[in-house]
Chain A
Amino acid sequence: MSAVAMTVNGKAVTGDVDPRTLLVQYLREHLRLTGTHVGCDTSQCGACVVHVNGKAVKSCTVFAWQVEGANVLTIEGLAEPNGPLHPMQEAFREHHGLQCGYCTPGMIMTAVDMVNRKGNDLDDPTIRHELEGNLCRCTGYHNIVKAIAAGAKAMGKGHG
């Protein structure tokens, strides 16, 4: 077993885990943060995307011990506690950017990271290119692309 310590959604957490425990397993099974999902075993689908030290990471692809001391943000921590939704969450709802909801947390975390890197004015080809690592089987991406463009703009207006 190996000891891990990190900050998750602003809270310091520690645990004692089997060294082969993936970050996503640590989040889901030890911290019971089940909003982060597992959709594949080859790092293709992106349902498990979280932010580690401000960058999007597929949490199925790193061991928990690899992010020792890091600042991890999951879908549960995106909006302020008891505050309004994050503008990207709101945009997904407003533009019907989700159906079954399973890929959604990863999509939203990827989208926020996209805005952090690319700014608030995202055009259709950019968004589609940036979604390379996130699979959705329900929406045909049409409304996800619309939601991300709108969410990016809203984040620029100081709501994010």
Chain B
Amino acid sequence: MSATGIGAAVRRKEDQRFITGKGHYTDDVNRPGQSHAYFLRSPHARARIKAIDSKAAAAMPGVLAVLTGAELAADKVGGLICGWMIKSKDGSPMKAAPHPAIAHGTANYVGDAVAVIIAETLAQAKDAAEKVKVDYELLPPAADPAKAQTGPQIHEVAPRNTIYQWHLGDPKAVEAAFKAAKHVTKLDLVNNRLAPNAIEPRAAIGEYDAGTDSLTLWNTTQNPHVARLVISAFVGIAPEHKLRVIAPDVGGGFGSKIFIYPEEVVCLWASRRIGRPVKWVSERSEAFLTDAHGRDHVTHAELALDADGKVMALKVKTIANLGAYMSTFSSSVPTYLYGTLLSGQYEIPAIYCEVDAVYTNTVPVDAYRGAGRPEATFVVERLMEVAARELDVDPADLRKKNFIKKFPHQTPVIMNYDAGDYHASLKKAMELADYAGFGRRKRESARNGKLRGVGFSTYIEACGIAPSQAVGSLGCGVGLWESAEVRVNPTGSVEILTGCHQHGQGHETTFAQVISDRLGIPIENVSVVHGDTDKVQFGMGTYGSRSGAVGISAIVKALDKVESKAKKVAAHMLEVAEGDIVFKDGKFTVAGTDKSAAWGDVALNAYIAHKFVGAELEPGLKEGAFYDPTNFTFPAGCHICEVEVDRETGESEIVAWTAVDDFGTVVNPMIVEGQVHGGIAQGVGQALLEGVVYDQDGQLVTGSFMDYCMPRAQNLPVLKVDMTTTKAPSNPLGIKGCGEAGAIAAPVAVINAITNAIGTEDLAMPATAQTVWQALQKSNNGQKAA
């Protein structure tokens, strides 16, 4: 392994600008003649907009325009779309309601935009917003997903507020297995609703250029090309070739910046209308109201086991809340990213999953770090843990007994696991966590008046999403390949153009490592270009842990072509047949001789073209590739959480965390470990601290960092992170992906640990001190467990 090649813990190239305050985020961009947009938002969860009087506002100082849904409709600006068609079990298509960028007719959640005020300064726009008079007729809202199907109907297209009733698996086989089962474990679970809260709030600048009749959008997006495609093809603001989307440095995404949001559409539209650039930056309170939330499942699940503790079948019934409108990929999250993962790491002969997706008068819900897979893992791993306790067997032993041991393994829920070693990660984690010593530590805690518990999570996820044909057959509206272009300059330095987008993942370093490894050049001589539709031809962006497995694979494919072309150039330079050229360590050598040409010389010769005839070999050295995966990848692992619970206060402290993950080939272990740390923190946040609360009127109760508890440094322990490796057979480097693992594995490990400590299984997330204390009182097991 070279110092900067694949597998090296190279320090990040991009850090220099971030640690010196020279990062370049969307809010750092200011355009000449720029105006500022402020959105007036509905304070009601559901209300008919009877009239909007904007005359007084329009006359306020500095105001350039006050625009409403009426103007948007008059200009025939299209609505936002959901790009994944899910069909109900009866074959009917999902009930997608119209989603205008500014509410027209009815506002459907607190925060739904009803007007935009554009002024010379933001302060002027805010002042003017206070003068806009909106006459609302209040309508009864449906805010609670569990009651949505019997609540007031929100959209004409969706009776019973039901978007689809989807299912997967074999109900007959499952029922037969349950009849024959020796033991059945049953659980009612709520997967709590979360606010993604990337620390950089969303922002957008729309700029119309009348000279070329084209538009530019600076935007906090994880996938600029998809944004451009949707905004041109569906919203219809500009043809694709007349719209440029630039995503500069983006300060965290976690899924929430995948989606196409109303504000970016409005900034573009308004810019063309007023002939000035229009800038909007979200405030944090606005982010709580308008960024797509995550999770929000209500589930009943049952696991059937035989006399020997072997799992026979699993059935799951879930209500998934998608909010007031269907966000860009929302439909796929509780279906193909959820039901397909319900086999976990286990050989389960029969699975049946039913999901009802519902509308509620809340902000849209869509993918958030893990997207469907944390919810699936929570169901499977809670069931396994509780089943073990009910059967009075060690939870590790029950898992071992049911692990899939042979690969490839076809699950009953679509997925074909191609590689893994679940015993290896469990074994290593148990050793590192000193599981054998848990009983002693529990007794020590008891002596200090504390209840100690341990919880496992042996999770699986499907990443590198995914073969385009496969996702197309499941309803996805786009292909999920990735593109790359490798441009070699005459001096031998390299630019990689990628359709992936980095917002914390360190691609500028890891992608350069792949080049360095292959071409033998220092990473300093490699630049990674991304996040601009004028520079990169096309790409699907970054989410679903896909940049390594899919994005890097595209780079490797392009590098194959570069090497092949470079060999031809070298053959001409060295006057031998192309087949005699060997490329290694940055040098082209004639096999069996000491004749060679250095990388830089070959690059230069490719461009000066003095040694070959243009008719035989094209000058230049630049190659592109599109890589379409042949399978999902299946990262998996084992996380073990140990907690101490204060019986008097109900407060839980995580005292130890062990993670052993199998991500296949790791390009940069330092960065991968960082991804694991961050994912665990988000998972611990879900389990202990975070939860979006809407009251019965649909008012958001948790609308700021004062009310929504984000994990702080003190909430987290020192994390022990290690790895085992089985390579992914489906891509050239064997990469599986690591971005979501922590968030998938962590919540259930925490809840399994706390319930183990307190001796009752009925515990909601977030397991705050109050919640745990109440669980202890109800069960009265606090005394017993001590």
**Chain A contact residues, CB within 8 Å of chain B:** 18, 20, 28, 33-42, 44-45, 47, 74-76, 78-79, 85, 89, 92-94, 96, 98-105, 108, 124, 127-129, 131-132, 134-145
User: B594 at the A/B interface (Cβ < 8 Å)?
Assistant: no
Interface-facing stretch out of B50-58, B92-100, B249-257, B759-767: B249-257
A98 close to B18 (CB less than 8 A):
yes
CA distance A47 to B27 in the complex (A): 14
Alpha-carbon gap, A75 to B17, bound state (A): 11
Cβ contact within 8 Å between A140 and B681: yes
Partner pick for B21 among A100, A105, A127, A137, CB 8 A cutoff: A105
Contact of B19 among A39, A93, A99, A142 (CB under 8 A): A93
- Chain A residue at minimal CB-CB distance from B252: A100
Return B714 CB to nearest CB of chain A, in Å: 5
The verdict on B283 contacting chain A, using a C-beta distance below 8 Å, is yes
**CB–CB A74/B21 < 8 A:** yes
Please count how many residues in chain B sit with their CB below 8 Å of the partner chain's CB atoms: 56
Q: Is B712 an interface residue (CB 8 A)?
A: yes
Q: Of residues 675 to 717 in B, which have CB atoms within 8 Å of A's CB atoms?
A: 677-682, 704-706, 710-714, 716
Taking the complex as formed, is B284 at the interface, i.e. its CB lies under 8 A from any CB of chain A?
yes
Shortest beta-carbon distance from B371 to chain A in Å:
16
Check if B152 is an interface residue, CB within 8 A of chain A.
no
Provide a sorted-by-A list of 7 A–B residue pairs whose CB atoms are within 8 angstroms: A37-B200, A42-B706, A92-B15, A105-B21, A139-B678, A140-B680, A144-B713
Structural contact, A98 and B19, CB atoms closer than 8 A: yes
In the complex, which residues of chain A have a beta carbon less than 8 angstroms from the beta carbon of B8?
Answer: none
Top 7 closest A-B pairs, CB basis? A35-B21, A102-B251, A101-B18, A140-B681, A100-B504, A75-B21, A99-B504
Q: How far is the CA of A157 from the CA of B713 in the complex (A)?
A: 26
Closest to B503 in A: A100
Of all chain A residues, the one with the shortest Cβ separation from B23 is A101
Task: Enumerate chain B residues within 8 angstroms of A93, measured Cβ to Cβ.
Answer: 11-12, 15-16, 19
CB < 8 Å neighbour of B716 from A44, A45, A132, A140: A140
Chain A CB count within 10 A is highest, among B15, B283, B679, for B15
Query: Are A138 and B200 touching (Cβ within 8 A)?
Result: no
CB distance from B127 to the nearest CB of A (A): 11
Q: With A37-B25, A101-B251 as given contacts, are A138 and B504 in contact (CB-CB < 8 Å)?
A: yes
| A103-B199 in contact (CB<8A) | yes
Given contacts A140-B677, A140-B719, A143-B677, A135 and B23 within 8 Å (CB-CB): no
Complex contact B713–A44 (CB within 8 A): no
Q: A39-B201, A102-B25, A144-B713 are in contact. Are A92 and B19 (CB under 8 A)?
A: yes
- Inter-chain contacts of B123 with A (CB < 8 A): 18, 20
Residue picked from A18, A33, A100, A139, most chain B C-beta under 10 Å = A100
Say yes or no: is B7 at the interface (Cβ < 8 Å to chain A): no
Q: Are A137 and B678 in contact (CB under 8 A)?
A: yes
Tell me, in angstroms, the Cα distance from A93 to B20 when the chains sit together.
Answer: 11
Interface of A is mostly: loop
B60 at interface by CB-CB < 8 Å? no
Answer whether A104 and B19 are a contact pair too, CB < 8 Å, given A40-B284, A44-B705, A137-B254: yes
Cβ contact within 8 Å between B251 and A100? yes
Q: B6-47: which have CB < 8 Å to A?
A: 11-12, 14-25, 27-28
Spell out B's residues near A (CB within 8 Å).
Answer: 11-12, 14-25, 27-28, 123, 197-201, 249-252, 254, 283-285, 503-506, 670-671, 673-674, 677-682, 704-706, 710-714, 716, 718-719, 742
Instruction: Report yes or no: A137 in contact with B252, Cβ–Cβ below 8 A.
Output: yes
A18 partner residues in chain B, CB cutoff 8 A: 123
Closest approach, in angstroms, between the C-beta of A109 and any C-beta of chain B?
A: 10
Contact A101 B14 (CB under 8 A): yes
Q: 8 more A-B contacts (CB under 8 A) besides A75-B20, A99-B504, A131-B714? A: A40-B704, A44-B706, A93-B12, A99-B505, A102-B200, A105-B19, A131-B712, A131-B713
Complex Cα spacing A144 to B673, Å: 13
Q: Are A135 and B505 in contact (CB under 8 A)?
A: no
B3 to chain A, nearest CB (A): 15
Given A137-B682, A142-B719, A35 and B25 contact (CB-CB distance below 8 Å): no
A63 to nearest B CB, angstroms?
A: 13
Shortest distance between the CB of B169 and any CB in chain A (Å): 35
Q: Which of A42, A99, A142 contacts B506 (CB 8 A)?
A: A99
Q: In the assembled complex, how far is the CB of residue B558 from the closest CB belonging to chain A, in whole angstroms?
A: 26
> Are B674 and A96 touching (Cβ within 8 A)?
yes
Would A96 and B12 be within 8 Å (CB), given that A135-B705, A138-B678 are in contact?
A: yes
Known: A35-B20, A85-B20, A89-B19. A142 touches B716 (CB 8 A): yes
A35 touches B506 (CB 8 A): no
Q: Are B199 and A39 in contact (CB under 8 A)?
A: yes
Known: A37-B200, A142-B677. A124 touches B15 (CB 8 A): no
- Measured CB to CB, the closest approach of chain B to A50, in angstroms, equals 10
Q: How far is the CA of A137 from the CA of B710 in the complex (A)?
A: 8
Instruction: Tell me whether B713 and A101 are in contact (CB under 8 A).
Output: no
Contact A139 to B284, CB < 8 A, known contacts A100-B503, A102-B199, A131-B712 = no
Question: Could you say which residues of chain B place their CB within 8 Å of the CB of A33?
Answer: 21
Nearest opposing residue in chain A for B281, CB measure: A38
Residues of B within 8 A of A42 (CB): 284-285, 704-706
Question: A2 CA to B716 CA in the complex, in Å?
Answer: 45
Chain B minimum-CB-distance residue to A132: B712
Q: Which residues from B are CB-within-8-Å of A131?
A: 712-714
Q: B705 touching A45 by the CB < 8 A rule?
A: yes
- Return chain A residues, CB-CB under 8 Å to B199: 37, 39, 45, 47, 100, 102-103, 135-138
By a CB distance below 8 angstroms, the chain A residues around B505 are: 99
Docked CA distance A144–B714 (Å): 12
Is there contact, CB below 8 Å, between B713 and A128? yes
Min CB gap A27→B, angstroms: 10
Query: Which residues from A are CB-within-8-Å of B15?
Result: 92-93, 98, 101
- Given the known interface contacts A92-B15, A96-B670, A142-B719, the answer about A137 and B198 at a Cβ–Cβ threshold of 8 Å is yes
Complex CA distance for A82 and B23, rounded to whole angstroms:
18
- Asked if residues A35 and B23 are in contact (CB atoms below 8 Å), the reply is yes
**Closest CB in chain A relative to B548 CB, distance in Å:** 15
Chain A neighbourhood of B201, CB < 8 A = 38-39
User: B502's closest neighbor in chain A, by CB?
Assistant: A100
Which residues of A have CB within 8 Å of B252? 99-100, 102, 137-138
A103 CA to B505 CA in the complex, in Å?
Answer: 15
CA distance A78 to B712 in the complex (A): 25
Per the bound structure, the CA–CA distance linking A78 and B18 in Å amounts to 13
Closest to A108 in B: B19
List of A residues within 8 angstroms of B673 by Cβ? 96
Among B17, B200, B254, B742, residue most surrounded by chain A Cβ atoms (within 10 Å): B200
User: Nearest B residue to A135 by beta-carbon distance?
Assistant: B710
